[in-house]
Structure 1
Amino acid sequence: MTQQGVRWTAEQVLALAPDAASRKAGSKLATAGPWSEAGSAGEGAVWGLCKGSGSKPYQTVVDLADASGPAYKCSCPSRKFPCKHALGLLLLWAGGDGAVPAGEPPEWAAQWTAARRRRAEEKKDGDGTGAPSGSADPEAARRRAERRAERVTAGATELEQRLADLLRGGLASAEQAGYRLWEETAARMVDAQAQGLAARVRELGAIPSTGPGWPVRLLEECALLHLLGQGWLRRERLPDGLAATVRSRMGLPASADGPPQKDTWLVLAQYDTADPRLTTRRTWLYGADTQRTVLLLSYGAAGRAPELSLPVGLALEAEVSAYPGAGQPRVALGEQFAPPAPTAIRPPGLTTARAAARYGDALRDDPWLESVPVTLDRVVPVPDGDSWQVADADEDAALPLTPAARSRPGLWRLVALSGGAPVKVFGECGHQGFTPLTAWPEGPGEPVGLC
């Protein structure tokens, strides 16, 4: 059905679901019973009518030809993207049992697909994007940047004083003061337009309630905040790459100004994190030719998934441009030359010792780095007392799993996939340990998402 001639797997379809409830509901609709007039077209569209609670069936159509990921349209009232009907339709198509035959799309599906592809072409050509091509007044833009830098400097100076007061009064005072002191300080950093400082200050406020050993953790975070503040106040003396990293950590906007790099990018992992204001989607990509692992960030309003959705295990031919900063993996997605397609590409792997060393090396360029992306080769998940670790099958070394990883259902998928045998695992390695995100069996087989 697709341009690549290969259908997606059920795992890749379910990776699109915005939450567990949608996965469950979509799976229930993956049978021919509720569907009528379902079909698919060679240019990458799938459609069908799904019987609902009302008298009229829901019109559901999915466009798979968009290189940035599938797009969905359904007449149901759900605010989730994709909704359960789109997931059910894709699962029915992925089954490949003839329930979604090839054919000509009905008018309602063809009109929507043609309209969105037309808009995509206009955006690609630079029309109708609504984005300004440049500042109408460069001098005014320069003055705004200077005023913001002055506010950020004032905020960093104030934070330095508050950190000095905390250490002078003793760390025990942080527990007595409670969270209100830190929330007030964070609000001051927001006023100073230093969003990065504000976020780290909020994390400080939660540390005294994290159990035994909290003073050590609080002191570590205070030291990192002090280092960031001093980096900003002395940014003119820093190398260009480190200065750009400091500006990024402070929360100042930056553009992806690196030269476009074309490659076939394997989707290694994708997962969302949410706060009361924003949903952030992190998508890790691996370049088959460049052998680079890069990060795409996309955002959605609170409670809504970002639009960019790239299922794990697919690959897309596209250009990416790097953001400034020493050792920063973040990129912006540029021109895309083909829709995502299944692939047999796998990233090369490291031992656990080399993965830990890679994180240590990365800290030289970015001392505030929480983790680095690594692929571990031939590791086995094994229990370690009350915890878990991934151990090298051929060496006497291991990495502990992070507390977050131990509490996720993905751990048990990893254990089941391994069954005591070595597997290849992609994830994030940092000071708390390793968080597995995707795994491959030792022999042939599809990737398994662990997020």
Structure 2
Amino acid sequence: MDISLETIQDLAPDQASLNAAKKLIKPGKWPLTGQASSVNSIWGQCQGSGANPYYTMADVVDHGYKCTCPSRKFPCKHVLALLWQYADDAGRFTESEPPEWVADWLGRRRKTTSQTSEPDITSAQKPSRKNIHSTDAITDAQATESHSPEELAKKTAAKAARLLKAREASDAGIRAGLLDFQQWVDDQLRTGIAPMLKELNSRCRGMAARLVDAKASTLASRLDELPAKALGKPAAAQATTVLRELGQLILLSEAWLGNPDDPDARGAITTADNREQVLSAPNVERTSGVWQNIGEQIHTRRDGLISHATWLIEMTAPAAKIALLQDYYPASVGRREAGLSVGKFVKGDVVFYPSRQPCRGFLQNYEFIEADPVLCPTTSMSPTTSMWPTTSMELDRHYLQQQSLIPWAEQCPFVLGPGRIRQDKSGQHWWLALDSSRHILIANPALPGVVMGDTLERAFIIWDGNSATLLSVQSQCWGTIVC
């Protein structure tokens, strides 16, 4: 069971993919690799810029492959890097039974016809523009045929014109979809919220499908999740939840119609910029420091994707600086093993997506580390528990500031200071400040027993204006506790 570098070169879609794959051939990028010679398969988890690794697998005989990354190149750089590592040193791949996510792929895929070992004379005679042995020296631009400056200028202008035309066509479709959505909301309000609640699933699903057709995919996903959000509330709060959500979505649609280039509105309507676009943008916000994972939110969406939100806090800042790493992956791959679990530290840069209030970002130039007591002050009770910085302003003021900048924002992360958790006679949980200056309704249906009654030095919540989802706390006795 082996594969040659020349075969990998032929599989690569272009020279740029080979260049990118070579940069991933580092042991630190692959926390897990394995092989099963009985099924001719290898696999690995590649740690990318997000909080969780990409799951990559390949068949070294018929060259089938799969990766959970969002790349549109096939095979992607992760598959090429996996095969490349195996070609260089198969001994690094531990022989074992395929894990569940690999076994699931093996069971689903269709085997291609056996490939002959004889070379394809026709393809061998064709000059290749890819060279796996010169990945540092050759780029796609250098590999293309030479053109005169006039020809290159014409090609560049033609490409820019095509992109502009495609953007205009896409925006026209989105505009029509948003106007259709606004009319749909008017119809729901005219006929009444009570009848809508009875048919909430079908009504939202139908409108979401129309938004997908209009290329407003992110807005469609949010509308599709409205039934789960509203019907999961107590009956008395369901109508208010629907009205609030529809109001925010109307504000979002109006913001896009007023300025389609607004980064906050565009990212919430259609897809956000990819990482390469963010890095190439002028004045991109980047924060370096020691970050700790202080909470995760994982749920399966109605469209079959798993949403995995990882919340980081910069430990060396005087006030809370919070970053959101948002990943999506198919439910078919199962729950990922977190590369950065709650309580763990990473040192590096968080690059933020353009926004009036930057929060979502991705990691770059980072390494996993242990807590540094010099950089991260610790509590007197537990020398391994680093104190989280608290949010600089009061909760209501912080929330109103966010809503004034991005009125359709769903989540407001916040770090509370010292307090306690109490339960009332109805079983409802509340967070109470130690100085009795504030009490906050906790939306969690259940909480770990160790957080009840104990003094909590910090609490990390997601506030929606009415109640808080408690993700984690810091206790003098128990350290960081996931809620």
Which of 1 and 2 has higher RCO (CA within 8 Å, sep 6+)? 1
How far does residue 362 in structure 1 lie from its aligned partner after superposition? 0.9
Structure 1 position 401, deviation (Å)? 0.2
- Do the aligned partners of 1:67 and 1:340 also contact (CA within 8 Å) in 2? no
State the distance in 2 between where 1:172 and 1:126 align: 66
Q: Does the 8 Å CA contact 1:370/1:431 hold for their aligned counterparts?
A: no
Matched, 1:274 2:313: no
Matches within 5 A, 1:318-333: 318-333=348-363
> Closer, same or farther in 2 for the Cα pair 1:341/1:141, shift >3 Å?
farther
Is the contact between residue 374 and residue 426 of structure 1 (CA under 8 Å) also seen in structure 2? Answer: yes
Matched, 1:430 2:469: no
Larger Rg belongs to = 2
Aligned residue type for 2:357: G
Contact 1:318–1:335 (CA under 8 A) maintained in structure 2: yes
The aligned amino acid for 1:263 is G
Aligned counterparts of 2:266 and 2:242: Cα–Cα separation in 1: 23
Task: Determine the structure 1 residue equivalent to 2:433.
Answer: 392
Task: Could you list the structure 1 runs, at least 4 aligned residues long, displaced by more than 6 angstroms after superposition.
Answer: 42-47, 59-64, 66-74, 124-129
Give the residue type in structure 1 aligned to 2:238. W
Q: Secondary structure at the match of 1:400?
A: strand
| TM-score, length basis structure 1 | 0.64
What is residue 288 of structure 1 aligned with on the other side? 315
Structure 2, unmatched stretches of 5+, are: 1-26, 35-41, 58-65, 69-88, 96-132, 141-155, 377-386
The one of 266, 269, 272 aligned to 1:250: 269
Distance 1:401 1:127 in 2: 57
1:448 aligns with 2:448: no
* Residues 127/149 of structure 1: CA separation in 2 closer, same or farther (3 Å cut): farther
Q: Is contact 2:52–2:336 with CA below 8 Å preserved after alignment? A: no
Q: Which amino acid aligns with 1:449?
A: V
Deviation sequence 1:128-158 (CA, Å, 0-9, x none): 99xxxxx992322222221111110000011
Match of 2:250 in 1: 226
1:60 Cα offset (Å): 12
Asked if structure 2 preserves the Cα contact closer than 8 Å seen for 1:379 and 1:423, the reply is: yes
Taking the TM superposition and a 5 Å limit, the aligned residue runs for 1:172-183 are 172-175=194-197, 179-183=201-205
Q: Report the residue type matching 1:340 in the other structure.
A: I
Percent identity of paired positions between Structure 1 and Structure 2: 20
* Residue of 315, 326, 331 corresponding to 2:345: 315
Shift of 1:172: 3.8
Structure 1 residues 373-429: Cα deviation after superposition (integer angstroms, max 9, x where no partner): 211121100012320011011233211101xx124xxx12xx414543333222212
1:165 maps to 2:187? yes
Deviation at 1:347, TM superposition (A): 1.5
Residues 343 and 267 (structure 1), Cα distance of their counterparts in 2 relative to 1, 3 Å cut = farther
- Aligned twin of 1:26: none
- In structure 2, relative to structure 1, the CA distance for the partners of 1:226 and 1:139 (3 Å cut) is same
Q: How many residues are treated as equivalent by the alignment?
A: 341
Match of 1:340 among 362, 365, 369: 369
Q: Deviations over 1:43-97 (max 9, x none)?
A: 99999x9xxxxxxxxx999999x996789999xxxx9x9xxxxxxxxxxxxxxxx
Who is 2:390 aligned against? Answer: 349
Partner of 2:144: none
Select which of 405, 408, 416 maps to 1:365. Answer: 405
Whichever residue aligns with residue 388 of structure 2, its letter is P
- Supply the distance in 2 between the matched residues of 1:144 and 1:328 (Cα, whole angstroms): 28
User: What letter is aligned with 2:348?
Assistant: A
Match of 2:381 in 1: none
Q: Distance in 1 between matches of 2:271 and 2:236?
A: 35
Q: Pick closer, same or farther for the CA change 1:62–1:235 going to 2, 3 Å.
A: closer
Distance, in Å, in 2 between the alignment partners of 1:63 and 1:165 is 48
Contact 1:393 1:422 in 2 (8 A): no
**1:15-26 counterparts in 2 under 5 A?**
none
Cα 1:298/1:222, change in 2 over 3 Å? closer
Which string of whole-angstrom CA distances, capped at 9 and with x for unpartnered residues, describes residues 6-41 of structure 1?
xxxxxxxxxxxxxxxxxxxxxxxxxxxxxxxxxxxx
Q: Is 1:279–1:303's contact at 8 Å kept on the other side of the alignment?
A: no
SS at match of 1:406: coil
Determine helix, strand or coil for the equivalent of 1:160. helix
Distance 1:287 1:280, change over 3 A: same
CA offset at residue 249 of structure 1?
Answer: 1.4
* RMSD of Structure 2 on Structure 1 (CA): 4.2
Matched to 2:409, the amino acid is L
Residues 204-247 of structure 1: CA deviation (Å, up to 9, x unaligned): 556479623533333323322222222222126xxx7xx22111
> Which residue is 1:194 aligned to?
216
C-alpha change, 1:306 and 1:333, in structure 2 (3 Å) is farther
SS of corresponding position for 2:435? coil
8 Å CA contact retained: 1:208, 1:218:
no
Gaps of 5+ in 1: 1-41, 50-58, 82-106, 114-121, 130-134
Change (3 A) 1:219 1:373: closer
Checking the alignment, whether the CA contact within 8 Å between 1:263 and 1:289 is kept in structure 2 is yes
Report the CA distance between 1:109 and its aligned residue. 6.4
Letter aligned with residue 221 of structure 1: E
**How do residues 394-413 of structure 1 correspond to structure 2 at under 5 angstroms?**
394-402=435-443, 405-407=444-446, 411-412=447-448
